[in-house]
Every structure is written in C-alpha cells, then in structure tokens.
Chain A
C-alpha cells in the first residue's frame, strides 16, 4: 500500500537539495558582493603615513624638518591604575584630564587604543619612557609635526594643516582622506605633490570585536610608505633672518632676487610671525590669533599687496622711450612745474638728469611724445592707440600680470588699457591730459613688490629676466623645477639702452638715497614713493649690486614710512651688504634701521 508515495518522498528530497544548491550557487558563485562584505568585515586597512619632505635653503641649511611628537595610547581593557596620583606626577598630567581622557577612550572602545596624552614632546618623552613598562595597556604612537630651526620665512614656506572639506572634494586623485595633513599655503601648498610622498598601507585581519589578528595574506599586499621628496629653496636663510630682523617693527615687504637666475634670495612679509606656532596641537588657536591680528601677518605682502610704482616707473618710461626712438640720451625738457609739481634741481635736464633727479615734468613731456604720435588726426583715437602700444611694451617688463611664482595667490597688479579708460570716462572722452599721471607711475597703475624686485633684476640684466621662483631643486635635481623658471624672458629693450640707465641709477643714490651708498660696492638704485591716500606714503626702494656684475636685485617696501630714501633704501643697502660680504660694517646705519620708528 502507498508504495508509490516513496517515490514522492525521494523526489521531494532531491527537489529540496536542488533548491538549496541553487540558492548557494546564487550567493557563492554569481554574487560577489558577499566577498566584498567579508573583506570589509575582516580586513582593516591601516595607513602608513609617509615622512614629509624636508626643505633646505640655497646653502643647504635646514629650513623645515619633521619633529617627532609622541601620543600616549591606552587600551582601556588592559589598563589598570593603582596609584593615580603617582601616575599623574610621572606623566605630568592633571588628574581631571586623565579621568576625562580615559573615559573618552572607554566610551570609544574597550579594546581598541585611544590617545590618553597627546603630543608629548621629545624631551618629555625621554623622561617618561622608562616608566612606561610599569603600566599595562599603554603604548606610544609616534607622529611628526613640521618644525623650523630658525623660525624664518613663514609666509614663503607656508604651513600644513588638516585637509578641509572643499579641498577633499576637489581632490580628483582620491589620494587624500579625512584627517590627512596637506600644505595649506606657501611652497608647502605649491609643492604638495612632491613633499607629501606616498602613503603605504598595511592590511590587518580583525575579528568581530575589532581585535588585531595578524597580517592579511602574511603582509603580501602591504606597501611601505615612500617619504616625500626634499626641496632646495632658493632662499638664503642667513639673509632672510637678517632681513626679518631689519623689518622688525615695520610693515611692508622685502624681495631679493638673483638677477641671472630669477631665484628669490629673500622674501619677507612684515610683520613676520614665527612659523613654529602653526604646528602641532596649538595650530587652531594660533591660527585664529594671526587671522584676527589687524597687522595681517598671514597676508603675504610680496605677492599680494599692490601699490602704485611711483617714481621707479620713470626708468621703465625712459627705456620704452629710448627703444621707440622717441628719446635719446640727449633729449632735453625743461622742469616746467606748471605741468606737474617737482622739487628743486637744475633745469632743463637731459634723460640722465631726469632719472637722477626724478624730474616729474620731464616725464610728463616725454610720455606725451610716447603716447601721441599723431598716427590719427583725432586726438582721442591717437591717445587710445598710443596707450595700447605703450601698454604692450610695459607688460613685457612683467607688469600687469602674474609673474607665475611658485606660490598660490599671487596678484597680477594692473597696467591700464584703453578699455579701462573707456569704461571710466566713455569712448573718445579721454586724452593725454586725462592719463598723464601714468608718466610718473601714479594713477590707475598697481604693481606688487615681487614685480618691483623683478624690475630691478631686469635693469641689472640689461633687458631680460627669469620668472622669480622659490625652489631651485626637487630631490636634488634642478631640472625638475617647472620649465617656466628656466626660460629667459626678454623685455624687447636693447641692452645698449641700459648702460645709461644704470649709470643714472648709480648717480641717483647720492641725490635721493645717500644713506644707501657703500664704499666698496657700487649700487644702482632708485627711490620711489607710493602714494597712499589713506595716510603717510609708502617708502619704496629698488636696487641691484654690484653694478658691474649684479649678484642681487632687491625691492623694499616700508608702509607708511614716508619718502623712499629713508627706511627702504637703508634696509636694502644693509641687505645687499650682508649678501655680498656676509657681514655688516655700518653699525650706525643698522642701528638707524632697527630703532627708527617707521610705523605711524
């Protein structure tokens, strides 16, 4: 009876087995999401952070290095404290913060490590190291922070900090993760890809409670971190430190360039701040303080501040005039003060005398000839054509546009075009009498201190420059710096025209900046005064030396320090002396610069 039903039972067994194997096939063979989930469960990726590259100056002195700091980590399950008071004394921690930190660690995880005391310094660590073995559940994690042996060049070097959300969003390489440190300004930011190195990764097996169970696949997939590459900066640390000392108590900029290479020897934004305060645990607090400081120490003046070039621009006017054939060394104009105000000097003057005495009416008349060449009957059109041609020539001096230094945030300055005046006054509503201020470097014209220093380099080189830059070698290899720093840029002015200009600049010193003159070294320089509608004028001075074989070209701005000869010229002269002779033989001048009150 019912023997047929045995077949039904047998078929049912086979059917169920088939369903089970089918479902198993689906989840095991066709669906690989379970494999990924299993890896997420049991394999933990631990990042091995690379050592950030160091920065040296041009003479291989260390500018930036990595200072180890130690975090004392605790595993709450293993940590038992018998004598709290003794522990607090040994490790120099308040009982209250010990309790707070330990509770936070406990709340995070009973079995995973959390920091108990953060950022113990090297010295402190040496002291407590021996006590560590007395306590179970404690271990030390080493990290490093940036450190600056001479506390110099803060704005040029920049600082690093935790990556922020917008940066993380922009990072298309996928290299960064939350909590990574990146260069946020200066060359730390610009050379971030070279400095950061390459992260390594270790793959660890963890169990369901997150406890380490050894290396995944015996560490075959692990990669070691690769340390970042070292940079050699173009800065001269000794000069930088001395310059910062001279700029103490002043507001302004110093930029010194080696003319034959475009390498920046010194770049100072005063007031300076100590770069060491923007590292480690105090970063946030100190950054707030600097950010709110009315003196704006974080504002990198050499590339971000813009001023009218003032009298120094007369040299550019002279060179354009000579090149265009409008002026010759013998071209003479009277010092006609009805055109524009001037100061007492012999009149009339030739071009040499005009540069030397910085004669305003001379350039008023010379510039009119440069602009109005009567290519058009219409004086408005004539001025417009003249201005735009002139602007072309000026731009070749590296003005009116970013030079392309290896820093982020460089400003372009501005050289006005006919469109600008059309916008201000309307088409055919302006002519030479509207724009004549440009002749003496005033009016709708702005340059940065970096562009000004570059002008000095052009004068020193007799007509060409290299884009100023702060890094001369990456990982010891000079060829790895960007190509634009290796390209000679010509101004379109023949070098013959520079001889007379250089002579006039040298001669000018005895009139306008006698303090800057040195006994043994011939300096060519030019003072300027950047007009400041908000207060006292800014003191400006550019120079290069030695005149016959220029090694250094420099621009110094001292804000609100009045006429250029005083503060700026003295500072520039001392820096030239320091760079060329490595010593200072003019203690009185140094004293004058250091103690003079130049902020009003």
Chain B
C-alpha cells in the first residue's frame, strides 16, 4: 500500500488539473459554437459536436489510464520503432487516405477518422529525445545538427505532400527544444533578424524609408563595433545583404499570383480582401472584438451562434470564448495555458535524464507553438494556417495526440527518481 501511495504522490497533479480544466472549458465552448438558440439540443447529444467531443474525451481518459499503467521504459525503448511506423503510415496517407478539402490527410477506420500527421508529432518528439539522449551528442557540431534536422524534416516533407502546410509548420517548434539543448544562438539571431526584415519590407511600402532605416542600423553597428577592418567589412556585407534581400523579397511578392499575394498582405490589412482570404480573419476579429471586457455571456454570442466565423468549432474555437467571455475570459484561458507551459518548463528542468528533459521540452515546444500561433491567427497577428488549439478544438485526432504527448511526459516525470539510462 505504501508503495502505491508514494507513486501517486510522484504524479504531477498540477499538470493533470490544468489539462482537465482546459479540456472542460474547450468542451463547453464547442457546445457554444454549435448551439444556435433555436433547437434545444443538449450538450450531451451525440448527434452534435459537443456530444461527439465527449466521446473523444472519454476515450482520451482511457488512453491516459493505459499510459499511466504501462511500463515507463516502453516509450524510450519503442521510440524509434514508433517513429518509423508513423513515417510509413505518413508515406502511405497520400495514396490511401480520404480526400477532404483538397487534402489527403485522413485515415478512415470504420466510423472514425484519424489524422496520422497529428500522431507523428509525439513520435518525432520521442525519436528526437532518443537521438539526443547520448551525452556525446553535441548540437555545436554540424553532423549532429544534421541528424536532428533529418528526424524533423522527414515527416515535414511527407506532410507537405498531403499537402498540409499548417501541420508541417508545427515541426519548426522543435527549434525551441533545440535552443535549450545548445543549438548555437547565432542561428536564432539570424532567423529573427530575417523575419523582422521581411515584416518590415512587406509593411513599409516606400523602399527608401526602409533602405534609410537599414543605413541607420549599419551606421549604429559601425559606431558600436571595434573598428577593425574585419568588422567593418563584415558590417558592410551585412548591409548589402539586407538591402538585396529586402529588394528581392518585394520583387518575389510582386511575381506571386494575386491570391497568394493577398494571403500575405491580408495579414497586415484584412480589408485587402474582406470577402475572400480576409473573411475568416475579419469575422473572427469581429466575434472576438465584440466580446468586450466581460463578454456577451455563455451561449449568447451572436457571431459564433449564427455561423459568421468559419471553422469555429475547430481551428477558430477561440472566437467563441473571446465573444462570450470577453477579455477577462481570454485572460483566464491564456493564463491557464501559460501556467501549463511554465509548469512544463519546471518539470522538464527537474528531470534526471536527458531523454525525459528533451522529451519534456518537445512537449512544451509543440503546445506553445500551437497555442500562440492559433490565437495569433484568430486575432489577425499571424496568417491563417490550419492548426488546432490544443485541448480546445473539436476533433479526436488532435485531442488524442495532445493527450498522448502530454501524458507520456507526465508518466516519465512520475518515474524521474528511478535512474534510467545514463544521466548527464
């Protein structure tokens, strides 16, 4: 008995509590999204999405139980096998999958429809953890970087074949984990600089202002640096590089077909195409923005109730919350997520093994990416990419995959005392 008691105490109930809080709020919001105020359909009615989601939640609980009673070594031992199995399934998906919305991303098993790409995330996370757990693995080395990138890019390439850009993009989140594990900082500085420059190029219409601004940056860098020939030459080339990049980016965007140009420009101004690409964002912002400080009240949101926002029970589920619970509701919900993410940072850091820590960082990277990009997209801070809000969005595949992802880590964490493999 005493043995069992201590095991229960080792499980991180805070994370589990946050998980169930998010799932519950998500489920209530799915009902609000399908509720139309006329038919008095119960939230438990299995013919509507909230009823179906309840089934998914129930099966997720079964999944959790299975994970918790399984041997904790299983995941480490099976990680590469799981990864390979999902790569094969992913490879087969375009050929045997069911086509929905122009994507062949779904497997049909009887009445269930599963999206293999969702599950590949946790398999990739396990594989990365397995690869990098070796203490000799050093992200400072080119060859080791290439190995890690290979594991990440293989599923990305296969997902792009479906094609599902949003899901493929998610894999870039592993760079958060790689950063923690020692990936050289210069890559991040360079990437952030490039992203910043791209945004500036696309938002500033007059190129002379842009070039002037870049010139100022170059001058400041010259003033700040040690005046050696090597430094000055480097800064000069950097300046030329930035101007060339900005100039050519504009040319490339101009060469794109108009609908793709719109997809980019709509990010800066949804009115570019309010009934086309901008529709989702415009309607989503209207729904969220009309919520005010305290919201319109549960099931009182007119925009979500009457279908003004497309995909409102899946990718745009945040609209329902924003409209019906207002800014205060958004604050509570974002706080729950932030609490979960910070808790995961804390848990990952307390792991005794590299495997568990790397896997933990993978979990938090994926959740963080999904959470921030999804919300950013609903309020027009990021282009519309089809990725779900973890634990909130309707759908069995995403709920199961995030549940698997999270609870494997909770399982590993509960066994952190038992020495497993080599410690660093």
Residues of A within 8 A of B (CB): 1-3, 5-6, 8-10, 12-14, 16-17, 19-21, 23-25, 27-29, 31-35, 37-39, 41-43, 205-209, 213-214
Contact = CB atoms under 8 A, between A and B. Distances in A.
A38 B381 contact: no
B290 A9 contact: no
Contact of A1 (B36, B182, B307, B375): B182
A8 B192 CA distance: 15
A8 B327 CA distance: 27
A25 B291 CA distance: 11
B212 to A, nearest CB: 27
Contacts of A12: 176
B338 A42 contact: no
Chain B interface size band reads 35 or more
A208 B308 contact: yes
Nearest to B381: A23
Given A9-B364, A13-B342, A41-B308, 9 more contacts: A14-B342, A23-B379, A23-B381, A28-B327, A29-B327, A37-B289, A38-B286, A43-B302, A208-B308
Sorted nearest first, the 10 A-B pairs with minimum C-beta distance are A34-B289, A207-B306, A38-B290, A42-B302, A27-B289, A28-B327, A35-B290, A208-B307, A17-B338, A37-B286
A218 to B, nearest CB: 11
B97 to A, nearest CB: 30
Nearest to B296: A38
B172 to A, nearest CB: 14
B372 interface: yes
Interface string B329-364: 011001101100110010011000000000001001
Contacts of B379: 20, 23-24, 27
Nearest to B367: A13
A38 B36 CA distance: 16
B180 A214 contact: no
B293 interface: yes
Given A20-B334, A27-B285, A13 B345 contact: yes
Contacts of B51: none
A28 B381 contact: no
A295 to B, nearest CB: 55
B306 A28 contact: no
A214 B300 CA distance: 13
A22 to B, nearest CB: 10
Contacts of A205: 37, 302, 306
Contacts of A27: 285, 288-289, 379
27 contacts: A5-B179, A6-B345, A6-B348, A6-B349, A9-B179, A10-B342, A13-B342, A13-B345, A20-B372, A20-B375, A20-B376, A23-B379, A25-B327, A28-B289, A28-B330, A33-B289, A34-B289, A35-B290, A38-B286, A38-B287, A41-B283, A41-B286, A42-B302, A42-B306, A205-B302, A208-B307, A213-B37
Contacts of A21: 327, 330-331, 334
Contacts of A206: 306
A17 to B, nearest CB: 5
B307 A28 contact: no
Interface string B14-58: 000000000000000000000011100000000000000000000
A20 B308 CA distance: 23
A387 to B, nearest CB: 72
A111 to B, nearest CB: 13
B239 interface: no
Interface string B275-289: 000000001011111
B114 to A, nearest CB: 30
B36 A213 contact: yes
B346 to A, nearest CB: 9
A14 B293 CA distance: 21
B181 interface: yes
A39 to B, nearest CB: 8
A10 B345 contact: yes
A38 B302 contact: yes
A12 B371 CA distance: 13
B330 A207 contact: no
A34 B286 contact: yes
Contacts, number: 125
Interface in B252-299: 283, 285-293
B282 to A, nearest CB: 8
A207 B348 CA distance: 47
B349 A31 contact: no
Contact of A41 (B302, B334, B348): B302
Contacts of B368: 13, 16
A571 B375 CA distance: 87
A221 to B, nearest CB: 14
- Determine the main DSSP class of B at the interface with A: helix
Nearest to A19: B381
A434 to B, nearest CB: 75
A209 B308 CA distance: 9
Given A20-B334, A35-B289, A2 B349 contact: no
Contact of A2 (B180, B290, B364, B381): B180
Interface string B127-168: 000000000000000000000000000000000000000000
Query: Which of B335, B348, B349 has the largest number of chain A CB atoms within 10 A?
Result: B349
A24 B379 CA distance: 7
A339 to B, nearest CB: 85
Contacts of A42: 302-303, 306, 308
B322 interface: yes
A42 B305 CA distance: 10
Contacts of A31: 289
A394 to B, nearest CB: 69
B289 A17 contact: no
Nearest to B335: A17
Contacts of A214: 37-38
B326 interface: yes
Contact of B176 (A2, A9, A17): A9
A8 B334 contact: no
Nearest to A36: B290
Contacts of B305: 207, 213
B182 A9 contact: no
Contacts of B182: 1-2, 5
Contacts of A34: 285-286, 288-290
A33 B379 CA distance: 14
A6 B180 CA distance: 6
Given A3-B349, A5-B179, A6-B180, A24 B308 contact: no
Contacts of A33: 289
Contacts of B287: 38
A32 B303 CA distance: 15
A85 to B, nearest CB: 38
Contacts of B289: 27-28, 31, 33-35, 37-38
A346 B404 CA distance: 129
Contact of A28 (B181, B292, B303): B292
A399 to B, nearest CB: 65
Contact of A14 (B37, B292, B338): B338
Contacts of B36: 207, 213
B288 A8 contact: no
A35 B180 contact: no
Interface string B86-109: 000000000000000000000000
A24 B338 contact: no
A3 B305 CA distance: 47
A29 B337 CA distance: 22
Contacts of A9: 176, 179-180, 345, 361, 364
A10 B337 CA distance: 13
Nearest to B364: A9
A37 B290 contact: yes
Contacts of B338: 13-14, 17
A213 B182 CA distance: 57
Contacts of B345: 6, 9-10, 13
B271 to A, nearest CB: 12
Nearest to B330: A24
Given A2-B180, A20-B334, A213-B37, A28 B308 contact: no
